[in-house]
Chains A and B, each alone.
Chain A
């Protein structure tokens, strides 16, 4: 193993150890302890708890899908650019006709 490889391996191990240290050292986080939340929930029927569970799950998935969609769109456009023909400087109307052309 060359000195370079050893150094790279050492760096990887250090980074891994730091990551593991961060995970191990993270404090357990539970509810933020909102009194009204607690009172309402504690006095709720099992029917509400069941409904709330469904309501929460419905709000979990769309953001995930939207995130994936936006990430995909951004990834597909990562190497794309817009090209607009130079406009005369004294043209006050900012809504110009955009044209997209192939880069030479």
Chain B
């Protein structure tokens, strides 16, 4: 790469801090996941079409699940679970957001790097670990779990007795998802902080490309959604390994054995899971919407009818997606006013999606569309988005949904709207940005062939699903033995053949990708004559994307359709390659103000705190639901030492604040002030350590009174909340030790102390909240 110094292989390709390399790593990881996911779907489809067919080699790979290569019903469910998990988490969540976002978000806002490069690297490797843990579930005794990607308890909570795959396989699945949540949270902190704080000179919010808006909004959604899924996974793991009863009801008998659980509710899992699950649909589709809007603008050679309307619509989708999941709970008999709160956004969220679609379609009128592989996939995205979305209107009718919800109609709906549409967005992005990422063009003829085979193939696979659903063909079943279903088998065979052909068509894409990477036509810096910042730098970019130059913009990113030698104007100031005298540009706005130094780390900390708030809100919500789900809630007195600890923690916050306020002055007033700061920080450290010790003493006291972790729901929640807060305190203690070390080395800077103080005060406030919740509920 241009401008790159010689570094080791590990530093360049594996542990690089360069956001572009990390973006490529995410892309390759998604590619691996999608290949495995597609093979699993092939196996399922072959089995559905020819249930008794022996698949060569499968018997050797999965001896118990598919003896002699014939897939058993349980193995079919395991394949379905793994297919869903891989595609939803490791493809649809990763590729459009983490892969393209990592590579292009900083460049498109004129930044040289992400806000926290090391966190970015850590985020990728944690994701990779989650992937390995998930894949390892294929090879443990019993194989992969059979509970689907939604992992509904009690099936997912009771252990190996529930069936093959529900032993170690299910545990690994939950651990993998919990790890994935952590990685996603770290990634979203990075994305939000980068978009808010690292924009270049002149890059106001409204001048950010639609892709950046989509990644920013999706990151906000990821932050909130995964912060709730994470504690849900903790609770599920604890049900499996620690004998707690969060999700497993009392009196459950499996294989003639009474399960040792009491009073949990599977509804609690659905409550927490769908808080994540519903926004997840938008997390998958919003980045693709941004990518498609960005590509369409460059392909149509004119701005979209209103790119601001698209941004506001995406914001509306992001905001509304938080308050939709309650419609999964309508049947719970919730307060009618609460139901109204959820039904209204359920209705309203269709409006922004419709607006965006209408803008895309309306912008086509009178445009000078350039047909490329990227623009074809962008147009294909609109097509499948509409086809999948229209069927959603049918499912929204309760009378129809009652009949259709367990059938292939739903499979067709969510595959088109969430899966195929998002994957078309990924393909569009790949064809569009490949020249920038590698410096070479993908072969357009192969690209167009790939598009048409995939486009036609996708409809051949998923449109018949609607017919099957209307004919009453139930989903999740591995064989259809009834006479009524037998008449549908020719359609199943047609779908399977279409799936095999469409899958095979992806080999064209893989070949094109591999061939063009090394031997493709060399790309110019701006082969599509596009305007945003990534096209103002060499292809591929250097490690420092802008070569260390100061970047500035003075106009919005979509300046197309001008008369003159070229019909576009670059967004970057000084990079305009057109005759400015002949075009009517909007007046440049330059009245920007700089950010102060501490802004970046503080922004990151506030975002992290937002994630913590959501996690504790989820735990509180779970506590309330569990408390009301059965009569096994035991109240007891909290150990007195907890109140003493509270005083200590509040005291530590006071001493820390004294240190923080004294800090800027000691350089002026000399040694006395410095001594005060050191003393206050040492006292804070001491108080914090004693607090943690006190919490441990409270644990021991409770245990000695017979309140073990799994003894009852109240003690389970008490220990869980104490542990969760204790983990935050431990991080705080390590941080304060680091601060003291820096202080003694005269390297401590005010922003670092401010950021740390913010975290510490938050943990104090959090403890007061936790104590309040415990006092009210236990």
Contacts and interface: CB of A to CB of B under 8 A. Distances in A.
A98 interface: yes
A-B interface, 10 closest residue pairs, ranked by CB to CB distance from nearest: A51-B628, A29-B396, A63-B322, A31-B330, A55-B625, A87-B548, A41-B332, A55-B621, A33-B401, A33-B405
B654 interface: no
Contacts, number: 252
Contact of B332 (A35, A44, A77, A94): A44
B322 A80 contact: no
B32 interface: no
A66 B614 CA distance: 9
A24 to B, nearest CB: 11
Interface in A56-104: 56-64, 66-67, 69-70, 73-75, 77-84, 86-92, 94-96, 98-103
Nearest to B249: A40
A26 B351 contact: yes
A36 B476 CA distance: 14
B338 interface: yes
Given A63-B614, A89-B547, A92-B5, A49 B334 contact: yes
A74 B628 contact: no
Contacts of A102: 593-594
Contacts of A64: 322-323
B595 interface: yes
Interface stretch (B95-103, B340-348, B438-446, B727-735): B340-348
B602 to A, nearest CB: 10
Given A48-B625, A53-B334, A87-B548, 9 more contacts: A32-B395, A48-B332, A54-B625, A59-B618, A73-B606, A84-B550, A90-B3, A92-B543, A94-B17
A52 interface: yes
Interface of B is mostly: helix
A103 B7 CA distance: 35
A33 to B, nearest CB: 4
Nearest to B547: A89
Contacts of B483: none
Nearest to A51: B628
A70 B220 contact: yes
Nearest to A98: B600
Interface string B239-276: 00000000000000000000000000111101100010
26 contacts: A28-B397, A29-B343, A29-B396, A33-B405, A41-B332, A44-B265, A51-B628, A52-B271, A53-B334, A53-B338, A56-B329, A62-B224, A63-B323, A66-B610, A70-B220, A70-B610, A80-B197, A81-B199, A86-B550, A89-B547, A94-B18, A95-B17, A96-B113, A100-B599, A102-B594, A103-B593
B199 A82 contact: yes
B595 A77 contact: yes
B549 A86 contact: yes
A34 B405 contact: yes
B331 interface: yes
A74 B315 CA distance: 12
B405 A32 contact: yes
B333 to A, nearest CB: 4
Contact of B398 (A31, A54, A58, A98): A31
A52 to B, nearest CB: 5
Contacts of B111: 82
B398 A34 contact: no
B370 interface: no
Interface in B467-510: none
A71 to B, nearest CB: 8
B611 to A, nearest CB: 9
A38 interface: yes
Interface residues of B, number: 99
Contact of A73 (B7, B341, B593, B603): B603
A31 B333 CA distance: 12
B457 interface: no
A55 B624 contact: yes
Given A35-B406, A83-B594, A102-B594, A52 B322 contact: no
Most buried by B among A28, A47, A55, A67: A55
B682 interface: no
B4 to A, nearest CB: 8
A4 interface: no
A94 B169 CA distance: 40
Most buried by B among A35, A81, A89: A81
A30 B398 contact: yes
Interface of B: 3-5, 7, 17-18, 111-113, 117-118, 152, 192, 196-206, 220, 223-224, 228, 265-268, 270-271, 275, 318-319, 322-323, 326-335, 338, 341, 343, 346-347, 350-351, 354, 393, 395-398, 401-402, 405-406, 542-544, 547-550, 590-597, 599-600, 603, 606, 610, 613-614, 617-618, 620-622, 624-629
A96 B203 CA distance: 21
Contact of B334 (A52, A63, A86, A89): A52
Contacts of B265: 40, 44, 48
A32 to B, nearest CB: 6
A27 B267 contact: no
B324 to A, nearest CB: 9
A7 interface: no
Contacts of A90: 3, 5
B621 A47 contact: no
Nearest to B271: A55
A58 B275 CA distance: 12
Given A58-B617, A78-B205, A81-B203, A26 B350 contact: yes
Nearest to B405: A33
Contacts of B350: 26
A62 B595 CA distance: 27
A1 interface: no
A81 B595 contact: yes
Nearest to B613: A62
Contacts of A40: 265-267, 270
A52 B625 contact: yes
A37 interface: yes
Contacts of B600: 82, 98
